[in-house]
Amino acid sequence: MPIMILKFMISLIYGIVAYEHYVNDPDYDDISFIIQFIDQRGKDSKTFVDQYLKQDYNDIAQNFKTLLKENNIDVAELKKNFIENVADPNDTVSDEFRDNLKKFFNDNFELDITSFTAGNITQDEKPSWYDNLDLDLQKIADRIFYLWSVYGKTAAKVPKERSTKIHIDGIFFIPGGRFVELYYWDSYWILIGLLESNMEHHAFDMIKCFVQLIETFGYVPNGTRYYYLNRTQPPVFCQMLYRLYKHTQNDDYKNFILTRGLIAAEVEYNFFMKHRRVKHDDYKDKILNMYYIDSELPRYESYKEDMETLRKSDRKDKRTIFSNLWTGAESGWDFSSRWFSDGKKLENIVITSMIPVDLNAYMLENERILAELNKEITNKSDEIKQKIEEFETNRKNRWKDMNEVLFNDKVGCWNDYNFDLKTYNDRRFYFSNIMPLFYSHDLLEDKNIIFNILRTYSKSLFGHEGGVPCSGDEIDFPDAKEQWDFPNVWPLHVQMLVEFLQKINEDEMAYHVGRSFFNSVVSFGDKDNIIFMEKYDCRKIGKIGGGGEYHNQQGFGWTNGTTIFLLNYYDNRFSEEFDHEKSYQSIREQLMKDNSIESSESQENNMMGSMELPTK
């Protein structure tokens, strides 16, 4: 163990060196502004930042300065005029400069086609449950098995001086579409799918990649690009470790998990407790976490979008706006009305003042898992015994603090809390509100709270034929302005809710949620060639989700993982007739039984939407 820790500390030192990259150079921001708003106007911002450099960055930066000088271009002035709505940079430059800029771009940048290559993805045999499926369902499973081979990758070694790619050894899986690198929390639902697909060895490959990242950087970056390095995502690595540990019979895998894997998980936990702890004076003594990133620069993969948000905002302070945008991206919910002071506009984002329910639910589960994995170690030292006690104590204290700070008696559920405004975000339902239920069953003193919450939010959770939306559908909020809002259905929420309902033996509810989502999934393409999308629209079968900074993507990692998870559990039931409305009414009747309260639909609408937080 001491040797392993020494190796880890050495790798951390190298991780600090690895963080030095051309995307952190001040000139790169100027290059990005000019290219993104003039030459690459109308294109996905991520396209440029993923380009491969044809020559050394220092030479490119010098060539860019020469280009500006020869054409009398003042980037600072162009930025100022754009932010203050004085002039669009594209309207103030000459055609000659545009031509010169295009030549500069073509001379110095090119599409990176060498970074990620197909991995050697194998499936020794189909999972045992596959033979129980009828032919049509087998075709759907086969399609997903095939897609694992499409999205399983290895990283070709390229100099970091020429690419934004972070190199990792071994096989990993990408989500698909514009997301051509490994992403943090997507990978958990990919891992679930790999385990259900009898591809445990590739689930272990994923674990090894994550351990590499933590050993290098001290946390898991948002994705394997250098421009993602100052942010992470919802901390689900502990759940990945534990899921594989409980699934496998392979002693080598178990040994790895209890040594390097567990050390890495504890390092990530310590990162969150040191760098993402709530430090507000009123709550600094609580065991609570929040997302927080400090930045004066836009996100390079969303450069135009972030600059546009700054331009629209009444708050022209770059640090305030960009810090909130970076932090919103770290939350995984990029973006959602959850984070907006008025519940409507991205430019009013205030997540850096909020304590999120779901993050603390994840941390609650991480503390349980870290204690449980340490208990699995034979010949426990006093240090390990002390760690077990600390994780268990932190979990109990976190649960107490979550209920003290985040539980909103008015609605009978947890809500995100804005510590600057001293207000709950209770204007509408968010899926994140119910997530403490998933990880606290042994801590709940009153089990009736589960059904009170399911009853209150029955319309949002069970009332839409296309699946469970991530927020409520109040009258003032008819369509998704952002992608993590109504009417969008995200696969990870479906998987989490189905698994929770299974655990509490609510089979009818679990099947209803899973079947509604499955019907959306199989509505795209035919059974031989299903097109798996990133997100769906809860209101109508056959309609994809929208909103946000980019078009809906196909692929798609966590959709494939969730679909395989559901096929394994429900097999040929998914071929039976299903009447969504009839099933919904049956669930409502079950939830209303022996409860003389008003209709849950009217209760949900009355509880939500009545409060509007003041604009900061």
pLDDT tens digits for 61-115? 999 999 999 999 999 999 999 999 999 999 999 999 999 999 999 999 998 765 5
DSSP at 552: P
Closest by CA to 43, choosing from 301, 326, 223, is 301
Task: Indicate if the pLDDT at residue 36 is higher than 80.
Answer: yes
- Tell which of 393, 421, 449 closes a domain: 421
pLDDT digits (tens, 9 = 90+) for 336-374: 999 999 998 999 999 999 999 999 999 999 999 999 999
Task: Indicate if the pLDDT at residue 202 is higher than 90.
Answer: yes
Task: Indicate if the pLDDT at residue 279 is higher than 50.
Answer: yes
In a domain, 410, yes or no: yes
In a domain, 196, yes or no: no
The span from the CA of 313 to the CA of 510, in Å, is: 42
- Tell which of 110, 137, 155 closes a domain: 110
In a domain, 525, yes or no: no
| CB proximity list for 166: less than 8 A, separation 6 or greater | 18, 160, 181, 213, 221, 224, 225, 226, 228, 229
Task: Indicate if the pLDDT at residue 15 is higher than 60.
Answer: no
- Domain count for the chain: 2
The span from the CA of 539 to the CA of 489, in Å, is: 10
pLDDT range class, residue 394, cuts 50, 70, 90: very high
What average pLDDT does the segment 142-148 reach?
96
pLDDT range class, residue 612, cuts 50, 70, 90: very low
Task: Indicate if the pLDDT at residue 250 is higher than 50.
Answer: yes
What average pLDDT does the segment 130-144 reach?
97
What average pLDDT does the segment 308-313 reach?
95
Mean pLDDT of the chain: 91
Task: Indicate if the pLDDT at residue 169 is higher than 80.
Answer: yes
What average pLDDT does the segment 5-24 reach?
56
What is the end-to-end Cα distance of the chain in Å, rounded?
A: 50
Task: Indicate if the pLDDT at residue 603 is higher than 80.
Answer: no
Instruction: Tell me the three state secondary structure of residue 155.
Output: strand
Cis peptide leading into residue 436 (ω within 30°) = no
In a domain, 454, yes or no: no
- Tell which of 405, 421, 437 closes a domain: 421
What average pLDDT does the segment 318-329 reach?
98
Task: Indicate if the pLDDT at residue 412 is higher than 60.
Answer: yes
| pLDDT of amino acid 476 | 58
Share of residues in the chain with pLDDT > 90 (%): 82
In a domain, 317, yes or no: yes
pLDDT range class, residue 600, cuts 50, 70, 90: very low
Q: Find the range with the poorest average confidence among 129-133, 244-248, 296-300, 440-444.
A: 440-444
Task: Describe the strand order of the beta sheet including 152-155 as a list of residue ranges.
Answer: 116-118, 152-155, 172-173
Task: Indicate if the pLDDT at residue 559 is higher than 90.
Answer: yes
Task: Indicate if the pLDDT at residue 17 is higher than 50.
Answer: no
In a domain, 363, yes or no: yes
Q: Which of 541-563 are b and which e, b meaning 16 or more Cβ less than 10 Å from the residue's Cβ? A: beebbbbbbbebbebbbbbbbbb
In a domain, 508, yes or no: no
Instruction: Tell me the three state secondary structure of residue 343.
Output: coil
pLDDT range class, residue 416, cuts 50, 70, 90: very high
| pLDDT of amino acid 42 | 79
What average pLDDT does the segment 513-521 reach?
98
Q: What is the DSSP secondary-structure string of 240-260? A: HHHHHHHH---HHHHHHIIII
pLDDT range class, residue 155, cuts 50, 70, 90: confident
| CB proximity list for 81: less than 8 A, separation 6 or greater | 87, 89, 92
| pLDDT of amino acid 39 | 87
| pLDDT of amino acid 10 | 40
What average pLDDT does the segment 379-387 reach?
96
Task: Indicate if the pLDDT at residue 420 is higher than 60.
Answer: yes
What average pLDDT does the segment 519-530 reach?
89
| pLDDT of amino acid 477 | 59
Task: Indicate if the pLDDT at residue 11 is higher than 60.
Answer: no
Q: Which domain holds residue 70?
A: 3-110
In a domain, 364, yes or no: yes
